[in-house]
Chains A and B, each alone.
Chain A
Amino acid sequence: MVLNKKDGASPMKPNRIYLVIAAAVLLLSGSCKRYSRPGDPHKVVYAMYADMKDWDPAAAYSLEVMALGNIYEPLHWFVPDSGGGYHFRPALATGYNSSSDGLRWTFHLRRGVTFHDGQPFTSRAVKKSVERVLRLGKGAAYIWRAVKSIKTPDDSTVVFSLSYPAPLDLIAASQYASWIMSPAIADCTEAFFRKGRAAGTGPYRLKEWKTGDRVELEKFPEYWGGWDKPHFSNVVLKIISEAATRVQMIRRGDIDFAGLIPTENIAAMRHNPDLSVEIVPSWRNMMFLLNTDKAPTNNIYLRRAILHAFDYRAAVEYILEGMAERPVAPVPQNMWGHADDLTQPEFDLNKARALLKKSGLKAGDIHLRLAYVASVDAYEKCALMLQNNLQKIGIQLELEPGLWNVLWDKAKNPETAPHIQSMTWWPSYPTPGDWLNGLFHTQSPNLFNLSHYHNTVFDSLVDGALALEALNRPAAVQRYQQAQRLLYEEAVALFFADLKVRFVQRRSVSPLKPNPAYEMIYFYNLYRKQGRS
């Protein structure tokens, strides 16, 4: 202190400090342009939560469908009808027919279509695209495994010969492994695609991929569908992994669409006059798989007791906050083949106690383990609710949150498998068989039958239905419905939510036309409303 007085320097007065800070702030604000972006009539921006993993349409099996579905096209699009039926909307094929034995499928192709690289679209492109899928054997390639040979009698006809009956009309409409690519790139290496290369026939072509930042698509002027409406010319898929950032950006108008918005932000967004919250149906459903092979959940009465100890209404209304419907059957309600005459167990603890008594197991001695994917908030809340309810009837439930790959590894192994395992499922192509075959059919080695369910009657019903899909679809539906009844009777899983997907969008963009068969937005159908930003 003495030194300070001696040196004669006086401390800077607070006012001067504030002046310096104020000057710095003014300088900064003056140098920065305003960042709110008026709605560009030609450009639409969508926030993706992660980057593209795979640009190869033959191998991609994840969120890539958002970009690939706008660059490439399938032979036809699957369109669900309101009454549980469906029809196909022509894309690259204008029609198709199949032989009575389901072993020969002929598609008649659209003429005058050009790929983004200038190559003409012909039957050769279809053949090369499907052959690439089979050659690589990656992603959802297995859906095409019935294909024995592909013939191209002329440029606008392609004929698939199968080794066993398979529903090729459904397979050709899949959101995975069914995109038709230019023959010029169909023989390229995987490394070629990893650099972000694409050549389809869709309305948009790939302009730029900046890894970790954005994907930019631009209008393909020669698109066969034409550009006679106020379509967007540019599509930007901005990669924004942090949900809070997506919330801020859509509020400011930096982006037009955002998915995976936290539930706590939704109420505020509903009151924002510039935003609308769109809830669209999906084919995803959530469940807890009950281990039928491991004591004590190998006891059917205990499994039934568990089903009655779950509050389904609370799960849908309070935990998922309307973002789901209460399931009626293992197959979601908006999928063909769904069994709508089933009666789902009710939440009734008295009934659960009675069933527990019937099981012969002693309440208080039952200790179960439930494993769930920790990153999914709904699993955790539902698991806690079930834990609380089971405790009331004398069952101890231990919760084991974790990463999916860790849980999956344990759940496959009968020794380490939990009694209850969380699961979300969706189909690789539009068929109810995907749930029943993928999740509950006997598998060796076991991959996804994490209920460890083995029932020869169920297996033969599903096998028969899968074969009938190509020959007699109503008969297949009957078998699928019988198989679903069996799953309910045997209490193999606790189905608690048919999920919906929530998008927040700027009102300046025309409303979405959702299709649960494709987890994407088809930007070609959208436009910017005049006079809105």
Chain B
Amino acid sequence: MSYFVRRIFFSFFVIVAVAVLTFVIMRLLPGDPLTTWLGDRPTQEQIDKARRELGLDQPLYVQGWKYIGNVARGDFGRSLRTRRPVWDELKEKFAATFELTSLAMFFCLLFGIPVGIAAARHPDSPWARLEKFLSLSGVAIPVFWLGMLLQILLAGKLNWLPLQGRGVLPPPEHSYTGLLLLDALLNLEYDTFADALQHIFMPALALSLASFGIITRSVRSAMGQVLHKEYIRTARAFGVPQKRILFVHALKNALIPVITVSGLVYGYLLGGTFLIERVFDWPGLGQLAVMSILTNDMPVVSGVALLYAFVYTLINLALDLFYLWIDPRITKNAV
């Protein structure tokens, strides 16, 4: 329990630190954010009025204190670019990004774990060569370029998949989760589900390919070590079936480092959305963040940074708790 409480405390500390840091960094950057609020050609009267309205005429520490207080109450301010509440912007975009990164993560694990196991079992097999090729390619090829290549191939040449966006059909009648795929299934709207799947497939694939290698490499490495352990040899000697040895005895023990890496990979995927969402015009947080950075939309940049930090922290917290289930010895060591 104390481990759990301590992890939550540290997570909270990380989020507060991110809030303070992003606020300070955004305020220290040169350039007047009022240009974004007022447009290209404001009058002096408009500038003075807006400065008062937005509280930008107050000392930095007062602005900072107000910002932290407002965030604690769930008020992230208003976007300078769209003039809508930041929380509304984040809510709308978060579901799209969460859906995209989760599917990309799913692809990483779905293909990464079997390929990693196969590569560990048969180091000279085609699987191992495929694993090496994909790992190196994934790391070496910039994600936005990969996205464009897929667009040219799957949309431009083969005309199999839509080029951009999240869907062309109207959203499901009832929105339960904000996740288009899930909502479409819950509403039994199969056309919408198919449409959403076709739209999400390419950006999720591009995003996952960049991180695929990290998962396969860690699975291969961990499985390679575990498969040489005495207890595996013993299990084989006792005639335990190969599938059971691999997926029950070996994989469970090899999963600990893989889970740690998965948390990091999720962070990479979130970072990757900044580029992939731009390329595929995916209406998510990455696209929002890029636009906001380019236009000095401070409240939104701070809001996105906070939300990313929150999600990343939450996922790592969940993974830490997952360790406990996999290996209860961790609690003792942590204490």
Rounded to whole angstroms, the CA-CA distance of A438 and B228 in the bound complex is: 78
* CB closest chain-B residue, reference A247: B156
Complex Cα gap A194–B288 (Å): 17
What separation, in Å, do the CA atoms of A406 and B26 have in the docked complex?
13
Contact of A245 with B164 at beta-carbon distance under 8 Å, contacts A12-B125, A190-B83, A213-B283 already known:
yes
**Are the CB atoms of A408 and B242 closer together than 8 Å?**
no
- B118: chain A residues at CB < 8 Å are 11-12
The answer to the question of A90 belonging to the interface, with a C-beta cut-off of 8 Å to chain B, is: no
B41 at the interface (CB under 8 A from A): yes
Given the known interface contacts A35-B161, A53-B81, the answer about A409 and B281 at a Cβ–Cβ threshold of 8 Å is no
Asked if B32 contacts A409 (CB within 8 A), the reply is yes
> Which A residues, 33 to 75, have Cβ-Cβ distances below 8 Å to chain B?
33-36, 50-51, 53-54, 61-62
Q: Please report the C-alpha to C-alpha distance between residue A9 and residue B281 in the assembled complex, in whole angstroms.
A: 46
Stretch at the interface among B43-51, B208-216, B265-273: B43-51
Contacts of B159 in A (CB 8 A): 34-36, 252
Q: Establish whether residues A213 and B165, one from each chain, have CB atoms under 8 Å apart when the complex forms.
A: yes
Binds A, one of B65-73, B147-155, B299-307: B147-155
CA distance A212 to B280 in the complex (A): 12
CA distance A444 to B81 in the complex (A): 27
Q: Which of A51, A240, A428 is close to B164, meaning CB atoms less than 8 Å apart?
A: A240
Q: How far is the CB of B54 from chain A (nearest CB, A)?
A: 14
A320, B294: Cα distance in complex, Å: 24
CB contacts (< 8 Å) of A14 on chain B: these are 126
- State A232–B29 Cα separation when bound (angstroms): 47
A240–B281 CB distance below 8 A: yes
Q: Which residues of A contact B43 (CB under 8 A)?
A: 142, 447
Given A212-B287, A252-B159; A408-B35 close (CB under 8 Å): yes
A265 CB–B CB distance under 8 Å? no
Size category of the binding interface on chain B = 35 or more
Chain B hits for A457, CB < 8 A? none
Indicate if B178 sits at the interface (CB-CB under 8 A). Answer: no
The complex places the Cα of A14 from the Cα of B31 at a distance, in Å, of: 58
List which A473-504 residues lie within 8 A (CB) of chain B: none
Q: A248 touching B39 by the CB < 8 A rule? A: no
Q: Which of A138, A142, A245 contacts B151 (CB 8 A)?
A: A245
CB distance A11 to B127 under 8 Å? yes
Q: A211-B92, A212-B283, A252-B163 are in contact. Are A409 and B31 (CB under 8 A)?
A: yes
For A242, the chain B residues whose CB sits under 8 A away are: 164, 278-281
The reply on A342 being an interface residue by CB < 8 A is no
Bound CA–CA A448/B43 (angstroms): 10
| Inter-subunit contact A194/B30 (CB<8 Å) | no
Residues of B within 8 A of A36 (CB): 159
B33 adjacent to chain A (CB < 8 Å): yes
Interface residues of B in 115-134 (CB under 8 A from A): 118, 121-127, 130
The chain A residue sitting closest to B49, CB to CB, is A137
Whether A194 and B121, one on each chain, are in contact in the complex, defined by CB atoms closer than 8 angstroms, is: no
Q: Contact: B31 with A61, CB < 8 Å?
A: no
Q: What's the minimum C-beta distance from A405 to chain B, rounded to whole angstroms?
A: 4
C-beta contact mask, A1-19 vs B, less than 8 Å → 1, else 0? Answer: 1011011110111100100
Smallest CB separation, A430 vs chain B (Å): 15
Whole-angstrom distance from the CB of B242 to the nearest CB of chain A?
Answer: 5
Measured in the bound complex, the distance between the Cα atoms of B278 and A35 in whole Å is 21
- Contact check, A35 vs B83: say whether CB atoms are below 8 A apart: no
Whether a CB of chain A sits under 8 angstroms from the CB of B40 is yes
Q: Which of A24-32, A109-117, A269-277 is found at the contact surface with chain B?
A: A24-32
A190 and B50 CA atoms in complex are apart in Å by 15
A34 neighbours in B (Cβ, 8 Å)? 159-160
Which residues between 278 and 293 of chain B lie within 8 Å of chain A, taking CB atoms?
278-281, 283, 287-288, 291
| 0/1 string, B78-95, CB within 8 A of A gives 1 | 000111100000001100
Binding site for A on B (CB under 8 A): 29-33, 35-36, 38-46, 49, 81-84, 92-93, 118, 121-127, 130, 148, 151-152, 155-156, 158-166, 194, 198, 201, 227-228, 232-233, 236, 242, 278-281, 283, 287-288, 291, 294-296
Where the two chains meet, the residues of A that have a C-beta atom closer than 8 Å to any C-beta of B are 1, 3-4, 6-9, 11-14, 17, 28-29, 31-36, 50-51, 53-54, 61-62, 137-140, 142, 190, 194, 211-213, 238-242, 244-245, 248-249, 251-252, 254, 375, 403-406, 408-410, 428, 438, 445, 447-448
Other 10 A-B pairs with CB < 8 A, given A242-B279, A249-B164: A3-B232, A6-B236, A29-B158, A213-B165, A213-B283, A240-B164, A242-B278, A242-B280, A244-B279, A249-B163
Chosen A-B contacts, 17 in total, with CB atoms closer than 8 Å, are A3-B227, A3-B228, A11-B126, A12-B126, A17-B127, A28-B201, A35-B161, A36-B159, A61-B41, A62-B39, A138-B46, A140-B41, A238-B165, A241-B291, A244-B148, A248-B155, A406-B30
